[in-house]
Structure 1
């Protein structure tokens, strides 16, 4: 079989099973003048263009510690990259060595890789640095497979994007689908360096979920081998936050003397102190990563809750507009604007905006809250309307979240209110929910709002709004208005 590419024709000798080609397959090829080389054939994928694959590979190949690209092009339904045949890969070399590498050998490998990262810094991000992509050719270690990961990302659905990187070496930001930078390659370099020094990778899975948790939240075990300078550098490369990892250009400078200073007592003492500081920083980074992910998950839940409430309140607004065309909806903007506010004669119905609640679990978890209320706008009266709380919470079964309606009233010891029953934020209602003697009590049971069929909720509030507009809305004759058992979780 022959392949006609951009620069010349190549004869296909046969497949190569070297480290598994990953995204694509490897073929041994020969030029017309007898030059043997390796062709990587990458399938053409929807959404991923030739330039994504070819441009990075060709652009990187001009650097000294990157594998050259001899030819590019297309053959049948594949894009093709041709490069010289390397002596072996770092993955093969690791598999052949029993135990750990001597320090001198480790530093040779790391300095060559760091040299490549320093050369490409600011221009190209590899995105999939691992031993299989580090090849020994022409007397030095070189990076290969530029563009493969970016091409793979472009052809992969967002929901399965994690499969476009190698889980053992992927940086935290890749697991979070954040933008990859040179710091991403530095993290993978840290994993690879740890593996060479220790004989095992810092994170060992075994499942994809385990790898994600470990890369995002777990500080690696302390290295016992190598010099203090090298251990410190590797641990800094494995910081969870990209901004605090060493710059690619700094790696090479620090590796040049990573084997020195071990026999100097002052230098050793200082290096030991720096190493301790690095360990503490790594642990702080891991803890901060946990908090950041928790915060991101919380905000995602709040955003979903807000969409659900907006859907319900959109139906309420539409029903009011259809049945009372003379009603006037207020045009209010800004961060404090309600979901909507509508006037009819002297009555007002308003739905407050959704507010996030963090770290509130007494007596159950509340993630967000809003409110709804009606009043008939007659100042000077001792009672002008009512309002209810809307909480996104899990009051009856842990983890079973939904929008719930509830309201509060003054206890015999509390002050009279013009609005009663009334809404409260979760942190204002702790005593009432825990049935502690105080100024407020529960006046309306914690009642689920059925998002699929909220008719009872909508009809009740439209009825109260109509009564307020007609001047016939009255204060409840007794509170609580509904009988209920306080069977929420406490």
Structure 2
């Protein structure tokens, strides 16, 4: 997390903004807190893009998509303002590293942890698909590992299964190496595309390396469409379970329900979120957030923390 910079708003709706969680081409995501002390991740469209009808439509759609999914495996939508000068959307703030951060810090997951991850994400995909949606951008950076398990975030390019895409010809709508072959080819996609993405995510979690690689985007996309997934570093017991998810023909991929059954972890596997190095990482982030919100909203000595220490706390919290 970075401190607010010049030009950043101090408040959006009921949320006082305390730091910057991230930013992209469309906008920024802030760490916010309302008057009751509840925290949120507040995404706002960049001011110079707010009048772009296509981007505004995509932003509104993201809010609507996320609200349609009531699964505990996604970040809940807390509020949205899509009218006016700066459309924003507030979602539940999830405390924990993303999957790519966790693998980078602690290494590849063991078999039991991969099974726990796979089963939880498959159940969440079931809920997303039951709501009539396709996520379309499942990747390690869109999976947050919390003390309650993995949660899927960012419905920025999600759309109804039978809806029309808002992307234009020539755009790459997903992160190369995680989008299904039919996405890379610009074809209509359905729930099997999310299964392909989940398979690629599990390869990364189990091996620490992507399922498809190349020297540039086009090379990676070529491998997705024509090449074979790199499963050499995946544990032998998991390879046969993951490989069908990465099939080129979406009709032959397993369903999320079948995946949840096939990857069923042994009893007690959920301890990965509560014990061990990953759990320690999560707990440290939870303590930092509690400390930050106490500093901002508390009374007495808690409010007298120096600006230098506050900025340091913000940085560590990210």
TM-score w.r.t. length of structure 1: 0.47
Q: Residue 105 in 1 paired to residue 113 in 2?
A: yes
Greater helix content: 2
Q: Write the deviation string for residues 240-272 of structure 1: whole angstroms up to 9, x where unpaired.
A: 11111111211101111589xxxxxxxxxxxxx
Q: Residue 46 in 1 paired to residue 53 in 2?
A: yes
Give, in whole Å, the separation in 1 of the partners of 2:146 and 2:18.
21
Q: Please name the residue that 1:67 is paired with.
A: 75
Q: Please name the residue that 1:408 is paired with.
A: none
Contact 2:99 2:205 survives alignment (8 Å):
no
Contact 1:121 1:249 survives alignment (8 Å):
no
Contact 2:60 2:82 survives alignment (8 Å):
no
Distance 1:93 1:38, change over 3 A: same
Q: Write the deviation string for residues 348-388 of structure 1: whole angstroms up to 9, x where unpaired.
A: xxxxxxxxxxxxxxxxxxxxxxxxxxxxxxxxxxxxxxxxx
Gaps of 5+ in 2: 1-9, 268-318
Shift of 1:36: 2.1
Bigger Rg, which one: 1
Give, in whole Å, the separation in 1 of the partners of 2:106 and 2:25.
23
Task: Please list, as runs of the form range in 1=range in 2, the aligned pairs for 1:282-301 lying within 5 A after superposition.
Answer: none
Greater strand content: 1
Q: Please name the residue that 2:29 is paired with.
A: 26
In structure 2, the residue corresponding to 1:256 is in which secondary structure? coil
Distance 1:235 1:185, change over 3 A: same
Q: Write the deviation string for residues 22-55 of structure 1: whole angstroms up to 9, x where unpaired.
A: 6532101110112222112235443352542111
In structure 2, the residue corresponding to 1:47 is in which secondary structure? helix
Greater than 6 Å deviation, 4+ residue runs: none
Q: Please name the residue that 2:179 is paired with.
A: 170
Contact 2:196 2:247 survives alignment (8 Å):
yes
Which one of the candidate residues 106, 129, 132 is aligned to 1:121? 129
Count of paired positions: 247
Distance 1:149 1:21, change over 3 A: farther
Distance 1:232 1:28, change over 3 A: same
In structure 2, the residue corresponding to 1:183 is in which secondary structure? helix
Which one of the candidate residues 74, 92, 100 is aligned to 1:84? 92
Contact 1:57 1:147 survives alignment (8 Å):
no
Contact 2:199 2:242 survives alignment (8 Å):
yes
Shift of 1:14: 2.7
In structure 2, the residue corresponding to 1:101 is in which secondary structure? coil
Give, in whole Å, the separation in 2 of the partners of 1:184 and 1:169.
9
Q: Please name the residue that 2:188 is paired with.
A: 179
Give, in whole Å, the separation in 2 of the partners of 1:135 and 1:207.
27
Give, in whole Å, the separation in 2 of the partners of 1:258 and 1:238.
24
Give, in whole Å, the separation in 2 of the partners of 1:105 and 1:34.
33
Contact 1:118 1:252 survives alignment (8 Å):
no
Which one of the candidate residues 165, 190, 204 is aligned to 2:199? 190
In structure 1, the residue corresponding to 2:77 is in which secondary structure? coil
In structure 1, the residue corresponding to 2:40 is in which secondary structure? strand
Contact 2:196 2:245 survives alignment (8 Å):
yes
Q: Residue 13 in 1 paired to residue 18 in 2?
A: yes
Q: Residue 209 in 1 paired to residue 218 in 2?
A: yes
Structure with more relative contact order (C-alpha pairs < 8 Å, separation 6 or more): 2
